[in-house]
Structure 1
Amino acid sequence: MNTPSSPSVGPERTGGASVRIGALVPLTRPGWVGAGRHLLAGLELAVREVNEAGGISGRPLDLLVRDTAADPERAAAVVDELAGLGVAALVGEYHSVVARAAAARADALGLPFLCSSAVLDALTEQPTEWVARIAPPQSRGWRLYADFLLGAGHRRIAVATQPSVYWASGVRILREHLAPRGGTVVELDVRTLTPEAVCEELVGRGATALLLLVGHPEPAVPIVTAVRRDGRLAEVMIGAPAGQPEFAEWAALLGADGAAVPFLRYLPERLGPLGARVGAALRERLGEAPSFVGFEGYDAVAVLAEVLRTHGTDRAGTAGAWPDVAVEGTRGRIRFSRTPGVGVWQWAWAPIQVVDRDPAAPETFRVLRSG
């Protein structure tokens, strides 16, 4: 296991007048571009506010943005590049598999990484002092989603899947939580099934819910369209725990068909004054309602800026400060701790909701369960 005293590649302190931090963001396909856009908006807003408030001990905070494009190898190379440029720390990333690659490389280099949005429990293969995370672990959110399914009367669950460590982890969490409570999970591999064939499987297996553990917009959108058009499946609930319906692109592509698809998002039922102010600023910046990903980006920079102010820009000092963090974020007070099964410093109590778009008003979200 690497510790904060491990050597790093590149200078230990930022050069010049500014304090540099590297930002990992999916900005091009096959990355989830909508999520990346919201994440970047949150990161940039927070950096602007930090600088307006005097920066880091009088030095401006400089955000070096790099596109990961949902590519783990590219992300690892970007971490090397940013380390060589002398960044004090890394922040960001949405895709769990990509964040995992970035975290491994940051750990190897001795470079602090505050992950904003990726939820995979095993973000690193071994415990590390260099990585902390704002987003809740996948196991916590997906167990809440499984409880929602049970509460809604669903016991026969089908999941449309693609090969991925993240999707496989989600299936395992659902199966382990549902099985002792009388639920079953059957996997439908969309590499070998057309959307119409998925419909046939749902009918044949008597499933009452179909969860989309697949990419967006392909193949998620065609699957939703096929199920909605099949009269035999009128009572089947479609779910998307990974959060695809959160973004405007979902509603634009699916219209009314995209409503009533429950998903996980990481917001409280009601934002406090800071969250409301940041939400309004993000809406103005984005030209649309901000997603939880935008708030995660803002919170990650707010936390990192406070650590840099109070502990300096030395990389080992930053990594050693994770257990001392106590920062008021947009969605609650952020503190890091060690969570069983999670090898990074974790904000353990990020708010979680199961939400869907209201069929009567698809731009409005309904909170179905909180935890």
Structure 2
Amino acid sequence: MNATEDLEPTQEPADVTDSGRTTAGSPIRIGALVPLSPPGWVEAGQHLLAGLELAVRDVNDDGGIDGRPLELAIRDTAADPQTAVAAVDELAGLGVAAVAGEYHSVVARAAAARADALELPFLCSSAVLDALTDQPTEWVARLAPAQSHGWRIYADFLLAAGHRRIALAAQPSVYWASGTGILRDHLTARGGTVVELDMRTLTPKDVCDELVDHRATALLLLVGHPEPAVSIVESVRRDRRLAEITIGAPAGQPEFAEWASLPGNAGASIAFLRYLPERLSPLGARVEADLRRQLGRAPSFVAFEGYDTIAVLADMLRSHGTDRARIAESWPRVAVEGTRGRIRFSRAPGINVWQWAWPPTQVVDRDPTEPDRFRILHTG
């Protein structure tokens, strides 16, 4: 049986899963929003989708939802908010029980607003922007931590490491502006200074000169991937004046395998946020092994977020059926063992959606002597 579906709904009286168990009746569909083409971060989308698909297979191998197979209706957002809005409209019309996924925060914000307007449950897997919706909503929940939570942990890591003069290489966007505000407020209140470098006007070489002029000890990349992030890193690494500077990327760009292959180990020793526990549970370890086989490489935390998304929705569907209103009403009653801990949703202060407060959070980097290995630098 196919675990994913991109076509119009069809009636399937029965099917047999890979494990030999039978599921009967029409499929229950969940809409999946993922960035699978540029300018979206395609590797992140692939990992998110791998987690979603693996969890769907596991649900169906265990008999489905009361004997009915679970399927994904996958839509590529390409990191475009309007594409995501159109996809939510389409998925709602196809009769999905809920919508899940998305990696890019600005895209997830647009999808969440539309899902709220349509009264369609949306479980956001990976986007962290605090203001996922403008007003409190009963229809939207989120697994990823709010940006303010994770980025304050990152700021604490910088302070604990002795950094007091921090430069931010930033591009304009709602997401980067939000991150800049969080870091500035948290760092300056604790004796740090923050200088913002506007990447609309600066070249990577200009960034190096600015870092020297401001005597910065840490540079944070609040820019797009792969460019200009990679060019900035390579320029800073080549500049002998900056041999001692720390490079960071709180948004997690170095999480993905392509950073391990940058020339001269340029992608190593760049601290970033990762939403994994120090040690996985037995479920997490089994899922990690399955994801590694599926992806052909180590899974990122984004793949675990995808798996946990389906684990939550499947539990809700078993308990409350496919009625959208009943699903939305049940967010505060969720108690699911995910790959990274027990998942419950609550109303976190300042957050307008139902929030898992909080997933495990680490600051890690890639070991320069073994770029495929991550070093845990700080936990929060």
The TM-score bracket by the shorter chain reads over 0.9
**Aligned with 2:222 (options 209, 213, 217):** 213
> What is the TM-score of this pair, normalised by structure 2?
0.93
Per the alignment, residue 331 of structure 2 pairs with: 322
Per the alignment, residue 229 of structure 1 pairs with: 238
Separation in structure 2 between the aligned mates of residue 33 and residue 264 of structure 1, nearest angstrom:
19
Alignment of 1:1-371 (within 5 A): 16=11, 17-371=26-380
> What is the TM-score of this pair, normalised by structure 1?
0.95
Q: What is the identity, as a one-letter code, of the residue corresponding to 1:197?
A: D
User: Which consecutive unaligned segments of at least 5 residues does structure 2 have?
Assistant: 1-8, 12-25
Deviation at 1:180, TM superposition (A): 1.4
Q: What is the identity, as a one-letter code, of the residue corresponding to 1:156?
A: R
Q: What is the identity, as a one-letter code, of the residue corresponding to 2:171?
A: Q
Q: What is the identity, as a one-letter code, of the residue corresponding to 1:211?
A: L
Separation in structure 1 between the aligned mates of residue 157 and residue 240 of structure 2, nearest angstrom:
25
Deviation at 1:349, TM superposition (A): 1.9
Separation in structure 1 between the aligned mates of residue 272 and residue 46 of structure 2, nearest angstrom:
20
Alpha carbon RMSD of aligned pairs, Å?
A: 0.9
Separation in structure 2 between the aligned mates of residue 349 and residue 137 of structure 1, nearest angstrom:
9
Separation in structure 2 between the aligned mates of residue 97 and residue 250 of structure 1, nearest angstrom:
24
Q: What is the identity, as a one-letter code, of the residue corresponding to 2:80?
A: D
Separation in structure 2 between the aligned mates of residue 172 and residue 191 of structure 1, nearest angstrom:
18
How many aligned residue pairs are there?
Answer: 358
Are the structure 2 counterparts of residues 168 and 118 from structure 1 closer, same or farther at C-alpha, using a change threshold of 3 Å? same
Separation in structure 2 between the aligned mates of residue 196 and residue 147 of structure 1, nearest angstrom:
29
Per the alignment, residue 4 of structure 1 pairs with: none
Separation in structure 2 between the aligned mates of residue 174 and residue 354 of structure 1, nearest angstrom:
15
User: Which consecutive unaligned segments of at least 5 residues does structure 1 have?
Assistant: 1-13
Per the alignment, residue 18 of structure 2 pairs with: none
> Could you give the per-residue CA deviations for residues 281-330 of structure 1, whole angstroms, max 9, x where no partner exists?
00000000000000000000000010011000000011011000000000
Deviation at 1:359, TM superposition (A): 1.0
> Could you give the per-residue CA deviations for residues 247-291 of structure 1, whole angstroms, max 9, x where no partner exists?
001122345111100000000000010000000000000000000
Per the alignment, residue 8 of structure 1 pairs with: none
Secondary structure of the 1:217 match is coil
Deviation at 1:191, TM superposition (A): 1.2
Contact 1:15/1:86, CA 8 A, preserved across alignment? no
Separation in structure 2 between the aligned mates of residue 253 and residue 236 of structure 1, nearest angstrom:
18
Deviation at 1:56, TM superposition (A): 1.0
